[in-house]
């Protein structure tokens, strides 16, 4: 593995992500119009919604990599799944924290056990379980495979989160972007949302590459400690 290239990728994506986050906040505070019904609190939308989209992307990567890992047994796919799962947990936590801030003003309560919120919290616990299962057995390989199964099953919660607003009684408004007839959103608001999505995407892939490299180094170190004889160097260039 070329760790130097990964390092440059982390630095490049991270820098672009931070710059885009700064641009996003400038747009949120000084450019995008205030929503007429909810007022200033609606501006959390530009952080909250992209955080959930990246959560779904990350956990989708976990499910995909885990599926192929169970099929091929390639350790690189398991490392990618772990890296994506940790990034997904970061953005899922952001979504769960920003949601109550919005709800406190919009609904008058920090939390209510309505369908979408409940399913979103369940998603967080499923992927927390992904990490717990990895460490639950004395056999690391068995733990990886059990975790892969959890990662695959967990993805089934995501479509339920999406359709819960339309299929179940929910306080959440219906979708304004992912609609069959196209986005129902002011152009400036949609543009700001897309900048938010770009910023979150850059940050996520920066974290993903960094965590992938760390996982690789941890496994190389464990292999060196478990293997007698001359040390096996890690290729870094």
Q: Given this model, what pLDDT does residue 6 score?
A: 84
pLDDT of residue 236: 46
Q: How many domains does the chain have?
A: 1
- The reply to whether 230 falls in a domain is no
Q: Residue 95: give the domain boundaries.
A: 3-221
Q: Is residue 233 part of a domain?
A: no
**Burial level of 138, CB count in 10 A (0-12/13-18/19+)?**
exposed
- Asked if 111 contacts 171 with a C-beta cutoff of 8 angstroms, the reply is no
Non-local (6+) Cβ contacts of 42 within 8 A are 34, 35, 102
Does the residue 227 lie in any domain? no
Look at residue 100 in the predicted model and tell me its pLDDT.
85
- Give the number of other CB atoms < 10 A from CB of residue 43: 20
Taking Cα atoms as reference points, which of 47, 56, 13 lies closest to residue 196? 47
Does 172 map to a domain? yes
Residue by residue, pLDDT tens for the chain (237 residues) are 677 888 888 999 999 999 999 999 999 998 888 877 777 887 888 999 999 999 999 999 999 999 999 999 889 999 999 999 999 999 999 999 998 888 788 777 777 888 888 899 999 999 999 999 988 888 888 999 999 999 999 999 998 887 876 665 555 556 566 555 556 667 888 899 999 999 999 999 999 999 999 988 888 887 787 776 554 444 444
Give domain status of residue 105, yes or no: yes
Q: Is residue 232 part of a domain?
A: no
Cα separation, 84 vs 208, whole angstroms = 6
Q: What is the pLDDT, as a whole number, of residue 113?
A: 81
In terms of Cβ atoms closer than 10 Å to its own Cβ (0-12, 13-18, 19+), residue 76 is: middle
Residue 53 lies in a domain: yes
Per-residue model confidence (pLDDT) at position 71:
94
Whether 226 is covered by a domain: the verdict is no
Sign of the CA dihedral with 34 first, then 37, 38, and 39 last: positive
Query: Looking at residue 34, what is its pLDDT?
Result: 82
DSSP state of 38: T
Spatial distance between the Cα atoms of 21 and 199, rounded to a whole number of angstroms: 5
């Amino acid at each position: 593995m070329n760790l130097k290239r990964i390092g440059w990728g982390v630095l490049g994506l991270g820098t672009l992500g931070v710059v885009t986050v700064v641009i996003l906040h400038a747009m949120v505070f000084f450019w995008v119009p205030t929503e007429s019904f909810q007022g200033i609190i609606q501006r959390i939308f530009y952080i909250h919604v992209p955080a959930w989209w990246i959560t779904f992307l990350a956990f989708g990567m976990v499910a995909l990599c885990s599926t192929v890992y169970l099929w091929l047994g390639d350790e690189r796919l398991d490392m990618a799944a772990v890296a994506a799962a940790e990034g997904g947990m970061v953005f899922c936590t952001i979504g769960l924290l920003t949601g109550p801030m919005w709800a406190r003003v919009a609904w008058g309560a920090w939390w209510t056990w309505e369908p979408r919120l409940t399913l979103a919290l369940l998603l967080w616990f499923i992927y927390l379980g992904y990490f717990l299962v990895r460490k639950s057995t004395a056999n690391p390989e068995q733990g990886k495979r059990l975790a892969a199964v959890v990662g695959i099953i967990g993805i089934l919660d995501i479509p339920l989160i999406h359709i819960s607003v339309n299929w179940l009684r929910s306080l959440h408004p219906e979708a304004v972007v992912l609609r069959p007839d196209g986005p129902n959103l002011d152009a400036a608001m949609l543009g700001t949302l897309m900048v938010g999505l770009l910023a979150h995407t850059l940050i996520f892939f920066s974290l993903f590459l960094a965590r992938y490299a760390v996982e690789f180094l941890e496994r190389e170190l464990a292999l060196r400690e478990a293997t007698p004889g001359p040390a096996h160097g890690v290729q870094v260039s």
